[in-house]
């Protein structure tokens, strides 16, 4: 199987079966994100434990890239502290914009690397990270 084909499968799977989808209640923080270029909308609710994201959920609707990216992000950041999450986002952003080509140990998030061929879709893929940051 071609790597791009594998990546496409991962994205379609996460779009069809989003992980951590819904609302977390009670929650400590809530943020909404909107990507007007595509119409993607997201709401993230999360619970903190000290500096760590103890648990989080997302809900909303949008294109496959935005939904799959949010689904994979929730899996990647759960249980992590804010410094680790920030560093992860830097690497994902570099991957998406083609400034970094180290897919190594980004796990499933690397499947979004195809987005760099479509600059307009980068905002779809990063919406969840900006929302999490907010
Ligand atoms: Zn989109």
Residue 33 main-chain phi, psi, to 5 deg: -130, 150
Residues 6+ apart with CB under 8 A from 49: none
DSSP letters spanning 61-82: E--HHHHHHHHHHHHHHTT-BH
pLDDT at 1: 56
Distance, in Å, from the CA atom of 24 to the CA atom of 21, rounded to the nearest integer, reads 9
CA of 43 relative to ligand 1 center, distance in Å:
15
Distance, in Å, from the CA atom of 64 to the CA atom of 53, rounded to the nearest integer, reads 25
CA of 50 relative to ligand 1 center, distance in Å:
33
CA of 33 relative to ligand 1 center, distance in Å:
12
pLDDT in tens, 15-65: 999 999 999 999 999 999 999 999 999 999 999 999 999 999 999 999 999
| Residue of 113, 115, 121, 124 lying closest to 41 (CA atoms) | 124
CA of 86 relative to ligand 1 center, distance in Å:
22
Q: Is the pTM of this model over 0.85?
A: yes
CA of 105 relative to ligand 1 center, distance in Å:
25
74-82 mean pLDDT: 97
pLDDT in tens, 83-132: 999 999 999 999 888 886 666 678 889 889 888 888 889 999 999 999 99
- CA distances 24 to 2, 37, 39, 133, Å, are 37, 28, 23, 17
Residue 42 main-chain phi, psi, to 5 deg: -140, 145
CA of 114 relative to ligand 1 center, distance in Å:
14
CA of 100 relative to ligand 1 center, distance in Å:
22
């Amino acid at each position: 199987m071609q790597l791009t084909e594998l990546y496409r499968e991962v994205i379609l799977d996460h779009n069809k079966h989003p992980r951590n989808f819904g609302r977390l209640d009670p929650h400590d923080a809530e943020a909404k994100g909107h990507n007007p270029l595509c119409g993607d909308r997201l709401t993230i609710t999360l619970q903190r434990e000290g500096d760590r994201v103890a648990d989080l959920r997302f809900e909303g609707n949008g294109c496959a890239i935005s939904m799959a990216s949010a689904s994979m992000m929730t899996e990647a950041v759960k249980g992590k502290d804010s410094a680790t999450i920030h560093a992860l986002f830097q690497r994902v952003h570099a991957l998406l914009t083609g400034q970094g080509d180290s897919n190594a140990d980004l796990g499933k998030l690397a499947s979004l690397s195809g987005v760099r061929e479509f600059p307009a879709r980068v905002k779809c893929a990063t919406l969840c990270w900006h929302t999490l940051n907010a």
